Amino acid sequence: MRFSCDIFCSVIDNFGDIGVTWRLARQLVAEHELEVRLWVDDLSPFCRLCPEANDQDAVQRHHGVALHRWPEAWQPVEAADMVIEAFACQLPTAYIESMALRAQPSLWLNLEYLSAEPWVEGCHGLPSLQSKGLHKFFFFPGFTPKTGGLLRETGLIEQRRRFQQDPAAQQLFLRDLGVTPRADARLISLFGYENPSLASWLDCLALGPQASHLLVPEGRIIADLQRWLSIGSLAAGDKKVRGALTVQILPFISQDAYDRLLWCCDFNAVRGEDSFVRAQWAERPFLWQIYPQQDDAHLDKLDAFLTIYSQGLTPAAAHALLSLWRAWNVGEPVDTHWPALLEEWPAINKHAERWCQQQSSQTNIAATLVQFYLNWL
């Protein structure tokens, strides 16, 4: 059944919110043949994710998705069959009125942030009565069948496996980015917010017994790297060597290229929500920097994920993983935690494979959304 969908996104965290909604919009078009309009209030971050886009055109089409600048002065449009309010952004009042005036009112969904907290299962799919007689339903992504699932394109896992089994394809991809690591180097990607823990980790890598090659797409963490390196600036293409560590700055790359970067690396340090999920599909050990919230509310979310993610690990491996993640997210030194993780590397690496297989067996969020709409009719 073909139907229309409007997705509204207010850009808060530069790339996190728009990264999730752009992936979702593309998948709804490509796999479910929906007519999708993506409304975004700031096109500049989007243009980094989709290089063929520009921030001047109010309406443009990419990968089958109609991209619209969300104007402050809203102009009336006909509401879609399904309306997704991403991350509690506020829909225009006039648009809500058009949703209610339809012969069949729109399905209104609030796409929530990803969380592993236990209460999510009980809240997923609950309605909330709104003005004009409309109901808004809360849609929670998650890690269990009682939630909305995770963003995962059909065939993604098979595509990743083929790529990881093809050293020549990996080498070509890295060479196109200007990356030629030593054969014995541990390849690591880093995408993060500012972090006081970074310096202690870089010290570990620089003093470590094995060569490490750190690949850093341009972003907010560059300033911390500059301080550690004691240099005034870093830009795409720069490469600095300190002891056993090579630090290389990459240009900001598309979402599809970022996936391949994660697939190439032995270890991935990620942030926020979008790269967090993509690191899990890479089937590699990873380190998550959760988006900080007031009153340290984010630490409860972090512990909730660690509780489910660490299931099946040996006590020693679980302790090494949890200690590193918690220190990384409260700005503490990781100089003892990183070596402890390396001691448990075989178990943690195998666990990343099992976790990916477990999560990829569940229904992805795009399919869950479509089924939710069909059940609602």
Rounded to a whole number, what is the distance in angstroms from the first to the last CA of the chain? 12
Where are any strands of DSSP class E within 73-211?
A: 82-86, 107-111, 127-129, 135-139, 186-190
Question: CB neighbours of 109 closer than 8 A, spacing ≥ 6?
Answer: 82, 83, 84, 85, 136, 137, 138, 139, 369, 372
Q: Are 321 and 310 in contact (CB under 8 A)?
A: yes
Nearest Cα residue to 119 out of 146, 84, 88, 150: 146
Which one of 6, 17, 81, 283 is the catalytic residue?
17
**CA–CA separation, 78 vs 101, rounded Å?**
10
**CA–CA separation, 249 vs 279, rounded Å?**
19
Total number of residues shown for the chain: 377
Q: How far from the centroid of its chain's Cα atoms is residue 16's Cα?
A: 6
Q: Which helix (H) or strand (E) holds 258?
A: helix 255-264
Which one of 6, 273, 274, 344 is the catalytic residue?
273
Question: CB neighbours of 284 closer than 8 A, spacing ≥ 6?
Answer: 262, 263, 265, 266, 267, 268, 349, 352
β-pairing, 82-86 vs 4-9, is: parallel
| Three-state DSSP state, 6 | strand
The residues facing 82 across adjacent strands are 5, 107
Q: Which helix (H) or strand (E) holds 249?
A: strand 245-250
Q: Which helix (H) or strand (E) holds 9?
A: strand 4-9
Q: Is 17 among the catalytic positions?
A: yes
The residues facing 61 across adjacent strands are 66
**CA–CA separation, 32 vs 158, rounded Å?**
20
Please report, for the chain, how many H helices and E strands are present, in that order: 15, 14
The residues facing 352 across adjacent strands are none
Dihedral sign of CA atoms 302, 205, 19, 34 in order: negative
Q: Is 273 among the catalytic positions?
A: yes
**CA–CA separation, 96 vs 131, rounded Å?**
9
| Catalytically active residues, by annotation | 17, 273
